[in-house]
A and B are shown apart, each in its own frame.
Chain A
Amino acid sequence: EVQLVESGGGLVQPGGSLRLSCAASGFTFSNYWMSWVRQAPGKGLEWVANIKQDGSEKYYVDSVKGRFTISRDNAKNSLYLQMNSLRAEDTAIYYCARVWGGYSSGWYPFDYWGQGTLVTVSS
């Protein structure tokens, strides 16, 4: 059974940093692109970042470029999101998701999602 479990969320002050983790199990993690998606309270879904199987390609939504870094450790079956210079508008539930198919191209939807971890940016 595919499982994705996020951790690392919490309350942080504006300008602060936080590192989210996603532990994957039930599939060969190194075969899949992975993604972070967020959802502000009461709002819709927003894609944040994607990373290729070997970490050689990374993509970000414009609003987090230069502040967030996606990374992975295939030996630990783990995905990460380093978030710096956090702003109030970054407050959201952050979901880890697997990109469908396991292909070398990442242009596919997201077939498995974790339950999310809440990040609150507030003074």
Chain B
Amino acid sequence: DIQMTQSPSTLSASVGDRVTITCRASQSLSSWLAWYQQKPRKAPKLLIYKASSLESGVPSRFSGSGSGTEFTLTISSLQPDDSATYYCQQYSTYWTFGQGTKVEIK
């Protein structure tokens, strides 16, 4: 089974800050990785697929990078609406989520 590890588990940043979340896989995924945003009591929302492709309608301040076993999600200028938990997901072999990163606004 492929294990996904995100870091940090929580982060606190100010509006306008550049924020980076890391996701590591236990084996190579090529680029078969997605990122989701989930707000409290809401369903997850797909942000990024194939490691770096932005889903339609997602603000351009979100970007993804990486391949193989190490990936990052970057928010270039943090906005109040970005307060949420972010999950990575591999879909190379079945489907596995990371444990999540909670982003808080200072």
The proximity string for A residues 86-123 relative to B, scoring 1 for CB distances below 8 Å and 0 otherwise, is 00000000010000100000011111011110000000
Residues of chain B from 34 to 91 with CB closer than 8 A to chain A in the complex: 34, 36, 38, 42-46, 49, 55, 87, 89, 91
| Beta-carbon contact of B95 and A95 below 8 Å | no
List A contacts of B38 (CB < 8 A): 45
A35 adjacent to chain B (CB < 8 Å): yes
Query: A47 is contacted by which of B42, B46, B97 (Cβ under 8 Å)?
Result: B97
* B94 and A47 contacting across the interface, CB-CB below 8 Å: yes
Q: Which residues of B contact A110 (CB under 8 A)?
A: 34, 44, 46, 89, 95
For the residues of B in contact with A, the DSSP-based class is: loop
Q: How large is the interface on A (under 10, 10 to 19, 20 to 34, 35 or more residues)?
A: 20 to 34
A59 within 8 Å of B (CB atoms): yes
From residue A84, how far is it (CB to closest CB) to chain B in Å?
Answer: 22
With A and B bound together, what is the CA distance between A95 and B43 in angstroms? Answer: 8
Please, which residue of chain B has its CB at the minimum distance from the CB of A60?
A: B94
**Contact among A44, A108, A113 for B43, CB-based, below 8 A:** A113
Please list the residues of chain A having a beta carbon within 8 angstroms of any beta carbon in chain B. Answer: 35, 37, 44-47, 50, 59, 61-62, 95, 100, 107-111, 113-116
